[in-house]
Amino acid sequence: MLPEKVPSARILTYGYNSSTKNILEGQNVLDIALQLMVNLKDHRRDKAEKHRDIILICHSLGGIIAKKAILLHQSSEEGKAIRNSIVGIIFMGTPHCGSDLANIGSAFASIASMVIDMPKLLLKTLSKNSSALYDISREFATVTSDLNLKLISFYELNPFQNKTFNLKVRDTTGDVDADLIPTPTQVHANRNKHWKVPFFPCSSFTGRQALLQRILNYFATRDTESQRRFAIYGIGGVGKTQLALTFAFQQRSKYSGVFFLDADSETTLHEDFSKIHDDLDLGCPKDKIGAIKRWFDVEDNVNWLLIFDNADELKSYQLTNYFPLSKETHIILTSRDPNAAELTSDGLLLEMMEPEESKALLISRAGLINPSAKDLQDINQIVDELSHLPLAIDQAGAYTRTRKCSPAACIRQFENQRERVLKFSPKLSSYNKSVITAWEVSFLRLESNMAVTAKLFLVFCYLDSKRISEELLKGAAHPVLKMDKDDNEQETVAEDNGVEPNLIDLMMDDDEFDGTIERMVSLSLVREYTETTGEKDTRIFSLHPLMAFCGRARAKQSQKREAAEQAICFLSHAFPE
């Protein structure tokens, strides 16, 4: 997360083996702190590194080690340089006054020492109300009092439990002088007990501020007559889930809890409702879904947000059966199907990013600092090539960063190995979908309907993706009049010009054709709009350029050849001149 959030930072990790074996082998705070300082000095030998700011993030006992390390070598120039470069320290669950867990560990060490004669130096230092820890805290406060040093301390209210112990690193600020320990902050876990989301929003999320404000305004409006439901629908990879998660994350303090539900199928929804039931500890009723809905409907149970994500197959089950009836529960629905808007009182079609948003996302994701004029020119070309699709831009940025290549090199890779770039997914990302995997679901669902429907879509992938008119498709199926060599009109059927009979039947049957288009639209594979010329209205179909590429890329070689031939036959028959 840190490399994505702070791309200019040089991130180093330092750890020591705190297992029982190593504790028994006589580690102590001084030994570990000395080694930390030695390692820091080694990493800061270059002139450019010597004055680089340092932020220490310390977990548990690491906070004690960090404080002790800062106290070392106070008179040496190297020690002073390191100490003066530290601008902030974050203590996460650091037992500033010792821990009950250390006392238990000491008991284990005592048992072990009956067999092997090993000292317990570290555990003695870390035991509760340790005088050594008090001395470290007091000296640390004195030494750092003149430094412009920001200290933040977090502690956990939830206990650590196993079958033997029930412990927690608690707020210890009241045990010693208040000025010796930074004021602690409770961790988020105890502030919002029911924050159940599968992953956090991407750290590179940018733009969309007007849309976030629109969602906020909608839910802020009090409506006593109906439940507040909001739909976010659009093509796969456009950022529907990220927008919903970002809204939930930004507004989480206003809600009693947030639940994220996978609405991809009735099975996944049942599984997530079962998890919510167990999390709420509602007992053991046979009807868990009913129990949850009744729980949400309790009069004083207010301010909940439910996110039904990936509700793409709206015709496969009745999604509204899973909505609580309470007007105090807010619902966000994400879907590829535009018909999702019919289940809510408001919603938005999530479009591609604006050019400036696209560029900002790519620069952030790629970790580019002060890009040159040439870089900016190449960045413009990249986002244009990707048609401003957020997921594709995020992938391109991650690819650029991971491969340590320039924007110009990314362009060359995209031109030569487009499919590889669109399949790329960074290993450390919490959201592991690529453009190709995100759309594969829609491709498979289309193929599961009828083979002829999938074949027509593949033909679409070889036509002009921005404008495929109904006039072209109908013209490719109906007989046309052509002039023979004697200038006589002669009717020619589409099959004579190479158009496949099953495609002809599909496009000639208005009901079947409309159903096919409706299915493509519901999967967000195709967009439909009306073009008016004079008094004539023409239906136009379009698909994202990358969608057309992915549709072609996944097809077998024989399917590609057949679809390309059919596209040529469509055009030659519909427009014979």
Q: What's the order of all strands across the beta sheet hosting 150-155?
A: 54-59, 86-92, 150-155, 184-186
Task: Calculate the alpha carbon distances from 177 to 139, 170, 551 in Å.
Answer: 12, 16, 67
CA distance 533 to 538: 8
Q: Write the pLDDT tens digit of every residue in 236-248.
A: 889 899 999 999 9
pLDDT for 117 equals 40
Q: Which two tokens stand for residue 493?
A: 């059927």
Task: Please report the sign of the dihedral spanned by the C-alpha atoms of residue 460, residue 464, residue 465, residue 467.
Answer: negative
Alpha helices in 114-265 (DSSP H): 121-126, 131-144, 209-220, 240-251
Contacting residues for 391 by C-beta, under 8 A, at least 6 apart: 236, 237, 238, 239, 433, 434, 435, 438
pLDDT for 136 equals 82
SS3 (DSSP) at 439: helix
Residues with pLDDT less than 70, the chain: 1-5, 16-27, 73-75, 97-131, 155-193, 200-201, 203-204, 223-224, 284-285, 423-433, 483-484, 577
pLDDT for 172 equals 45
For residue 546, which of 384, 411, 416, 404 has the smallest C-alpha distance?
384
For residue 237, which of 516, 544, 467, 468 has the smallest C-alpha distance?
544
pLDDT for 182 equals 55
Alpha helices in 44-120 (DSSP H): 47-50, 62-71, 77-85, 100-113
Q: What's the order of all strands across the beta sheet hosting 329-335?
A: 194-196, 257-262, 304-309, 329-335, 229-233, 346-349
Task: Calculate the alpha carbon distances from 133 to 14, 90, 105 in Å.
Answer: 21, 18, 17
Residues of the chain with pLDDT > 70, as a percent, come to 79
Q: Which two tokens stand for residue 178?
A: 């208040």
pLDDT for 500 equals 94
For residue 421, which of 400, 447, 449 has the smallest C-alpha distance?
400
**Strands 536-542 and 527-533, sheet pairing:** antiparallel
CA distance 507 to 456: 9
Q: Which two tokens stand for residue 257?
A: 């809890």
Long-range contacts of 563-567 (CB under 8 A, 24+ apart): 563/455, 563/458, 563/459, 563/461, 563/462, 564/462, 565/498, 566/455, 566/459, 566/462, 566/498, 566/499, 566/500, 566/503, 567/459, 567/462, 567/463
CA distance 215 to 332: 9
Please report, as a single letter, which amino acid is at residue 481: L
* pTM attached to this predicted model: 0.63
pLDDT for 515 equals 92
Task: Calculate the alpha carbon distances from 302 to 194, 254, 296, 327, 360 in Å.
Answer: 13, 11, 8, 9, 38
Q: Write the pLDDT tens digit of every residue in 359-394.
A: 998 888 888 888 889 999 999 998 998 889 888 888
Which residues does residue 528 pair with via DSSP β-bridges, in sequence order? 541
